[in-house]
Amino acid sequence: MFQDEIEDFLRKRIQDAPEEFLSELAEYLIKPLNKIYLEVVRSVFMSSTTSASGTGRKRTIKDLQEEVSNLYNNIRLFEKGMKFFTDDTQTALTKHLLKTVCTDVTNLIFNFLASDLMMAVDDPAAITSEVRKKILSKLSEETKLVLTKLHSSLNEKSIEDFLSCLDSAAETCDIMVKRGDKKRERQILFQHRQALAEQLKVTEDPALILHLTSVLLFQSSTHSMLHAPGRCVPQIIALLKSKIPEDQHTLLVKYQGLVVRHLVHQNKKTGQEEDPLSNELDSEEEDSTSTTRKELQELSSSIKDLVLKSRKSSMTEE
């Protein structure tokens, strides 16, 4: 609701009133009216349903607050993990976190406000930057100002600034964010480790095995969570040199070399498929690729065991 809309309404109801009086009255009314507006939004949101999980269950403000709080605390812990790296790597990790988890929690809040505008979607993850801009254009000036800062912070380079904007947005929308204490942080660390370990158990993709193992070794050796893109795996492995036994690091580096070689073979194969003159190299490349693939298969279990076999002895995070 905008101030000029309130003034128009008052002008129709209170005839012959001075413009200055109408303007002051509208300014006085806008905050309580916006509060009522947010209560209506909240009521609509509570009665709406989503099918993102396939259950079609009703969403409540309590569900929203729990999701926002969980993501908020995860972001805080991921930010702590970044501090172990150099500035350049921190920049890459920050950019990745903003594009993923930070965007997820931002979309949850935008979808909450969009419910009253008949613009809500079943899966908030589907909300793009353009959709957020459309939602912003429909909000009251006061709410729009705060949410615009949150939206813009996704393109900045600071997690601290983003969290500050998130705090303001949550307060404006009357969403209570529960900060994690030490006990809650330990639970989050344990749950995060469990989720990654379960994923590691079932995957057969060498690049993903290397990625998950590196992140899990980082967490067990630093007691800090890390949310990293694949391109940061070499930096994680380099950091682990001083934090894990030498034989484990040597094995990890060997596996890393095989993964890189495997990816290079895959790229070459793609290029050869487009080049009819390269057929004579196919046999040699296939032999090399087969050897690399065999070595990866032989080492994959040992790489997984670096973290999966040590789970029982590292339950101190629980």
- What predicted TM-score, i.e. pTM, was given to this entire model? 0.77
| 317 found inside a domain | no
- Which pLDDT score, from 0 to 100, does residue 315 have? 44
Q: Report the C-alpha gap between 61 and 182 in whole angstroms.
A: 25
The least confident of 185-189, 240-244, 260-264 is 260-264
Q: For 56-78, give one letter per residue: b (16+ CB within 10 A) or e.
A: eeebebeebbebbbbbbbbbbbb
Q: At residue 54, does pLDDT exceed 60?
A: no
Residues 22 and 112 in one domain: no
Give the pLDDT confidence of 82-122 residue by residue, as tens digits. 999 999 999 999 999 999 999 999 999 999 999 878 888 88
Top-confidence residue, 277 or 218: 218
Mean pLDDT to the nearest integer, 249-273: 82
Q: At residue 274, does pLDDT exceed 60?
A: no
Give the total number of structural domains in the chain. 3
User: Which tokens belong to 301?
Assistant: 């279990």
Q: For 12-41, give one letter per residue: b (16+ CB within 10 A) or e.
A: eeeeeeeeeebeeebeebbeebbeebbeeb
Task: Give CA 286 to chain center in angstroms.
Answer: 39
Q: At residue 271, does pLDDT exceed 60?
A: no
Helix or strand or coil: residue 49? strand
Residues 187 and 301 in one domain: yes
Residues 189 and 255 in one domain: yes
Domain containing residue 88: 61-173
Q: Report the C-alpha gap between 95 and 90 in whole angstroms.
A: 9
Do the Cβ atoms of 162 and 96 come closer than 8 Å? Answer: no
- Which pLDDT score, from 0 to 100, does residue 151 have? 98
Give the pLDDT confidence of 146-188 residue by residue, as tens digits. 999 999 999 999 999 999 999 999 999 999 999 988 999 999 9
CA-closest candidate to residue 46, choices 60, 66, 67: 60
Residues 212 and 300 in one domain: yes
